[in-house]
A = this chain, B = another copy of it.
């Protein structure tokens, strides 16, 4: 039988990378398994939170709305008050919830890797805007770069249980917003054929990135037919105030046919109420304000309800991404969005730890597991993030991939059928061999019911010592080196790549 510990010493890097990239004959877990077995809120809780959100939008409204929003909302029955706040009467919000896209495809360049954002289908991915990379050797942080982003993307391409990729780090050497947006998109698109997403700082870059995508897909208008990039937008400065520039960029994305995630990341106790229910109500109100405005401009445009209710450590005011409060809030946020019938995207996996250590592990698993079981369609931040999302670690990402596979196995759950109940198998064993090791059922289920970690250790203590007594982090580092040191054939046609380079200020070397 195959033993991962032994295999690591056999064969070269290329063989290992090839083995890793090859899908198993049957995949016990796939993207989009249905969650929802965990319900942190009751229906009555959700109704109360929704009512509160509707009340806040009608009574207090949103500050700093852009003219385009004000125009469509007032035309639909809203009003601007003397303080310039835009009020959304409940009727137009409810109408937007009705009109809004209930599902959409987040395409991938490799269409077989596209994901369906709908119902309570669960997907794991990255997210955030970390500014630092953890250096494996020194345990210190350095500024993240465009090359880091490309490397992370390539790693993602190899990691089976990460289903979508929102750019998790900022290329800090690129200070010009347009340069940053264009190069970020290019680094993602050339690094993977799986779904990608970005965030934009320059509205002008949106159209140019779409043009880049059109070039890759074969011509103008192709991206709109098969949008394989989603855009995250932190469109709000909580409480209840639009972030004008982000909203402008978001509207450009909507016009370009790019699916958007409406991100409200209030921090409980700082920019949203310390009471968890209130923090959820405010985030829901904010996301509904954006959803309503967008649906008045472009009815049915694919929007993800990105309630990201963050938590403060109230002793210091600092963000705490790895806390239990965070875990239960984001799970509840997903449940709320799904209950409204809308695509849900929440944040989980944001450890407060600075290292890929045991604290990071338990904080990540708790937050991601609850979000997944609540049925979150898109679980952002679920791989690689450390330091309350200030930093990224390649090794953490590899370990997280194992964790995500394991969590996805629990989402798949337990199939109960006459066959799986196994009364006959038990009878045979009791009357025969006395154990199940060689039974047909066991051999059959080895590949269909069970998944196996990529770098997770399951050796005996003695074998583990013989294999070098390595930590998960050390084994992950070997994996990272293997992947990044192995040349990867480009999936973008060289002539197309040249056309992109001719047209745009691409900074990544060929």
Residues in chain A within 8 A of chain B (CB atoms):
1-4, 37-42, 44-45, 48-49, 52, 55-56, 59-60, 63, 132, 139-141, 239-240, 268-282, 311, 313-318, 320, 322-325, 327-329, 331-332, 352-366, 369-370, 373, 387-388, 390-391, 396, 399-400, 402-403, 405-410, 412-417, 419-423, 425-427, 429-430, 434-437, 439, 441-442, 444-446, 449-453, 456-461, 464-465, 469, 471-473
Q: How many copies does the complex hold?
A: 2
Residues of chain B with a CB closer than 8 A to A460's CB: 318, 390
Q: Count chain B CB atoms within 10 A of each CB in A3, A329, A369, A387 and give the residue with the most.
A: A369
In whole angstroms, how far apart are the Cα atoms of A488 and B503 in the complex?
74
Q: Count chain B CB atoms within 10 A of each CB in A4, A329, A407, A458 and give the residue with the most.
A: A458
Q: Are A426 and B370 in contact (CB under 8 A)?
A: no
Residues of chain B with a CB closer than 8 A to A355's CB: 471-472
Q: Are A422 and B362 in contact (CB under 8 A)?
A: no
CB-CB nearest in chain B for A451 = B324
Q: Are A399 and B358 in contact (CB under 8 A)?
A: yes
Residues of chain B with a CB closer than 8 A to A427's CB: 59-60
Q: Are A423 and B354 in contact (CB under 8 A)?
A: no
Q: Are B280 and A414 in contact (CB under 8 A)?
A: yes
**What is the minimal beta-carbon distance from A434 to any residue of chain B, in angstroms?**
8
**What is the minimal beta-carbon distance from A337 to any residue of chain B, in angstroms?**
15
Which of these, B275, B362, B369, contacts A403 with CB under 8 Å?
B362
Q: Are B359 and A391 in contact (CB under 8 A)?
A: no
Query: What are 21 A-B interface contacts by the 8 Å CB criterion?
Result: A1-B316, A37-B39, A38-B373, A48-B421, A49-B416, A139-B469, A269-B445, A271-B436, A275-B420, A277-B420, A278-B426, A282-B426, A323-B406, A323-B409, A324-B409, A328-B409, A358-B396, A359-B453, A363-B365, A366-B366, A391-B461
CB-CB nearest in chain B for A317 = B437
Q: Are B56 and A423 in contact (CB under 8 A)?
A: yes
Residues of chain B with a CB closer than 8 A to A281's CB: 421-423, 426
CB-CB nearest in chain B for A427 = B60
In whole angstroms, how far apart are the Cα atoms of A52 and B417 in the complex?
11
- Would A472 and B430 be within 8 Å (CB), given that A280-B414, A327-B410, A442-B314 are in contact? no
Q: Are B445 and A359 in contact (CB under 8 A)?
A: no
**What is the minimal beta-carbon distance from A457 to any residue of chain B, in angstroms?**
6
- Would A420 and B276 be within 8 Å (CB), given that A358-B399, A469-B139 are in contact? yes
In whole angstroms, how far apart are the Cα atoms of A366 and B410 in the complex?
9
CB-CB nearest in chain B for A417 = B277
What 3 pairs across the A-B complex have the smallest Cβ distances?
A: A361-B361, A278-B422, A324-B409
In whole angstroms, how far apart are the Cα atoms of A100 and B39 in the complex?
30
Residues of chain B with a CB closer than 8 A to A364's CB: 361-362, 365
Residues of chain B with a CB closer than 8 A to A430's CB: 60, 63, 239-240
Q: Are B324 and A410 in contact (CB under 8 A)?
A: yes
In whole angstroms, how far apart are the Cα atoms of A463 and B89 in the complex?
46
Residues of chain B with a CB closer than 8 A to A275's CB: 419-422, 425, 441, 445, 449
Which of these, B324, B352, B354, B396, contacts A408 with CB under 8 Å?
B324
- Would A446 and B357 be within 8 Å (CB), given that A277-B415, A278-B420, A410-B366 are in contact? no
Q: Are B277 and A461 in contact (CB under 8 A)?
A: no
Which of these, B3, B328, B450, B452, contacts A413 with CB under 8 Å?
B328
- Would A1 and B315 be within 8 Å (CB), given that A270-B435, A366-B365 are in contact? yes
Residues of chain B with a CB closer than 8 A to A405's CB: 324
Which of these, B240, B360, B461, contacts A387 with CB under 8 Å?
B461
Q: Are A325 and B280 in contact (CB under 8 A)?
A: no
Q: Are B457 and A352 in contact (CB under 8 A)?
A: yes
Which of these, B59, B239, B274, contacts A441 with CB under 8 Å?
B274
Residues of chain B with a CB closer than 8 A to A318's CB: 458, 460
Residues of chain B with a CB closer than 8 A to A444's CB: 274
In whole angstroms, how far apart are the Cα atoms of A464 and B360 in the complex?
14
